[in-house]
């Protein structure tokens, strides 16, 4: 059994965060271990409360999993405090690492402090095998503003300069069919998919990054894993469902 350790926040609504990570990895036949960094009170319309887990507990969770179960790949999501970011940095070794630099929830709540963003930028991204920012996260990390698909490679180049091996810039919020760009500093791979008419898109970023990590754990190289993850998240959006009074979750 291949395994992925997911490090991130709990979504009490079950559509994103650790819950989406676990569902996605299980859909691929990959074991999911977890480290909870924050507990959110979250509905389909808002994040009403965030409680950061003490750094000592994050360190203990990391040690408990990595020292016994191990992990073929580590995937990070919500790391809301500088201490949470540094706890991950301290625990990592040579394992492949997928970083989803979660900055803002889909309902608009900031999930990453400016101090944590600085530590993530300088300490964690240089260790990443792949980083998967959306357009707002590209802007926060680099200052590059993506206005259309022609700007995706500039965005990927700017994020790549921060040290990760690969960058997957998610362009789903641009007009037209959703186009993502995977870049390793030399070669750009354009990943296209159909635009699906639905409001039920909660959890897409978490599902994409977890699917990428899961496919890497199963032996795919990064381009193949990214293509498979793109296909999985497209299917998950197509099969999203209404739940609550706001946008419902995708179905990995």
Residues that are catalytic: 170, 201, 203-206
- Residue matched to tokens 């993850």: 229
Q: What's the pTM value of the predicted model, to 2 decimals?
A: 0.95
**Whether the predicted pLDDT of 173 surpasses 90:** no
- Give me 36's structure tokens: 């909870």
Q: What is the mean pLDDT of residues 169-182?
A: 91
- Percent of the chain scored above 70 by pLDDT? 97
**Whether the predicted pLDDT of 111 surpasses 80:** no
Span 75-96, pLDDT tens digits: 999 998 999 999 999 999 889 9
Q: Which domains does the chain have, with CATH numbers?
A: 3-132+200-238 (3.40.1190.20)
Residue 73: which region, alpha, beta or left (left: phi > 0; alpha: psi -120 to 50)?
A: beta
Contact in structure between 242 and 200 (CB atoms under 8 Å): yes
**Whether the predicted pLDDT of 103 surpasses 80:** no
- Three-state SS string across 39-63, please? EEEECCCCEEEEEECCHHHHHHHHH
> Residue 182: which pLDDT band, with cuts at 50, 70 and 90?
very high
| Closest to 241 (Cα-Cα) out of 198, 208, 205, 207 | 198
Output the pLDDT for position 107: 57
- 112 or 122: which leads in pLDDT: 122
């Amino acid at each position: 059994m291949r395994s992925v350790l997911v490090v991130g926040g709990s979504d009490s609504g079950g559509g994103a965060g650790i819950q989406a990570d676990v569902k996605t990895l299980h859909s691929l036949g990959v074991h999911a271990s977890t480290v909870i960094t924050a507990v959110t009170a979250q509905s389909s319309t808002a994040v009403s409360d965030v409680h950061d887990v003490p750094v000592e507990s994050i360190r203990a969770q990391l040690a408990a999993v990595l020292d016994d179960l191990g992990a073929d790949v580590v995937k990070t999501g919500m790391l809301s405090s500088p201490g949470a970011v540094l706890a991950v940095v301290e625990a990592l070794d040579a394992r492949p690492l997928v970083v989803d630099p979660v900055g803002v929830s889909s309902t608009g709540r900031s999930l990453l402090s400016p101090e944590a963003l600085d530590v993530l930028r300088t300490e964690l991204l240089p260790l990443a095998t792949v980083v998967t920012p959306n357009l707002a996260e590209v802007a926060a990390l680099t200052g590059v503003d993506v206005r259309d698909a022609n700007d995706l490679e500039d965005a990927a180049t700017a994020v790549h300069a921060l040290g990760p091996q690969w960058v997957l810039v998610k362009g789903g919020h641009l007009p037209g069919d959703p186009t993502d760009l995977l870049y390793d500093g030399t070669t750009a791979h354009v990943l296209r998919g159909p635009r699906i008419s639905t409001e039920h898109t909660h959890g897409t970023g978490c599902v994409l990054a977890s699917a990428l990590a899961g496919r890497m754990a199963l032996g795919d190289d990064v381009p193949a894993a990214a293509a498979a993850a793109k296909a999985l998240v497209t299917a998950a959006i197509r099969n999203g469902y209404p739940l609550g009074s706001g946008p419902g979750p995708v179905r990995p």
